[in-house]
Amino acid sequence: MATTTDLITKINENYGKMSKGQKLLANYIIDNYDKAVFLTAAKLGEIIGVSESTVVRFASFIGYKGYPEFQQSLEELVRTKLNTSDRIEITNGGIEQNGVLRSVLSSDALKIKNTMENIDEAAFENAIETLINARRIYVVGLRSCAPLASFLAFYLNMIFDNVINLQTSSTSELFEQMIHITDKDCIIGISFPRYSMRTLKALEFANNQLANVITITDSIHSPMNLYSSCNLIAESDMHSIVDSLVAPLSVINALIVELCNRKQSDVAETLDMIENVWSNYQFYENDEIDMVEDSIKMTYPGEN
């Protein structure tokens, strides 16, 4: 994939040979790359005052296979720089007009498709083996990645005995929870733009202690990969103020399913124990809905 430097260089190198419409596009993109990245070819053409086909030809003219590849170069540039107010402004001018529901769902589906086509299966297998052989497994994901980390840690606890989901409000607290990490352990770091410095510091500390480091992030250029030996890359993009994390979640699901396949007897034993605990302590006596029953008993105020 082309880098952002390639993009600017290509525009500059070809500027003298561009038509009037192409120069308008080039000037707008250089001055407004943070907004252009979210625009379809049709919307970008509408803003500039040129046709959609002119925008597509522009991408090809400067050396890209098509508009999607050109747009990926723009994404690399804005990935860590775009602020929240910019996102809201762009969404109001773009996605909203096309129908939020279908636009977001289509975009998310594309992220999963691209992730499936590009993910390194050898890295995935390496991650599985590393997790199976680890004495302890640490999971760290902060801010918008915290739900992903909690989800992963929840199911890893069904498979392994010693899983630690690092939850903290400061870097020092992370180190305190990781103080016993060694080369027999592994840590999974989950971070997407804007990247978390606390997550990065946790991975650095783990690496310094010779622990195995696995990352789930968006790019081979992600700073999270500085300290990892196993990188699982999943596409992420921004819809307004919301980061799309459906592709990372799918990768996490795949990890869990494959680990369950490899550790079937252990998982079955754990699930049996959980069912016995639920039964013995009646955890779900008043909360679980039995769909076999013809009706659901409801108690209303004033009823005996």
Phi and psi angles of residue 265, each rounded to the nearest 5 degrees, phi first: -65, -40
Angle at 215 between CA 270 and CA 34, to 5 degrees: 130
Q: Which residue is it, tokens 């390639």?
A: 6
Residue 8: its pLDDT value, please?
75
Give the pLDDT confidence score for residue 1 in this predicted structure: 44
Contact 168, 217 (CB under 8 A): no
Residue 165's SS3 state is strand
**Helical spans, DSSP H, in 164-245:** 171-177, 197-208
pTM above 0.75, yes or no: no
The length of the chain is: 304
**pLDDT score recorded for residue 282:** 59
* Topology (CATH level 3) of domain 4-78: Arc Repressor Mutant, subunit A (1.10.10)
Ranges for all domains in the chain classified under CATH 1.10.10.10: 4-78
Alpha-carbon 226 to chain mean position: 17
Question: How is residue 251 written in tokens?
Answer: 């990768």
Give pLDDT, residue 93: 47
Q: Where in the chain is the domain with CATH 3.40.50.10490?
A: 116-265
Q: Quick one: pLDDT at residue 2?
A: 45
* pLDDT at res. 84: 45
What's at 303, amino acid-wise?
Answer: E
Which tokens sit at 246? Answer: 């459906």
- Assign 283 to helix, strand or coil: coil
Q: Which amino acid is at 145?
A: C
Phi, psi of 139 (to 5 degrees): -125, 130
Pair 211, 228: CB distance under 8 Å: no
* 116-265 CATH fold: Rossmann fold (3.40.50)
Helix axes 4-14, 20-31, angle to 10 degrees: 150
- Sequence-distant (6+) residues with CB within 8 A of 58 are 18, 21, 22, 25, 26
Q: Report mean pLDDT in 10-residue bins for the chain, 304 residues.
A: 61 86 86 75 89 92 88 71 48 52 80 90 96 96 92 93 86 86 96 86 94 93 87 76 82 95 84 73 57 53 54
Q: How far is CA 105 from CA 71, 110, 246, in A?
A: 19, 9, 10
Are 173 and 197 in contact by the 8 Å Cβ rule? The answer is: no
> Would you give the DSSP letter of residue 205?
H
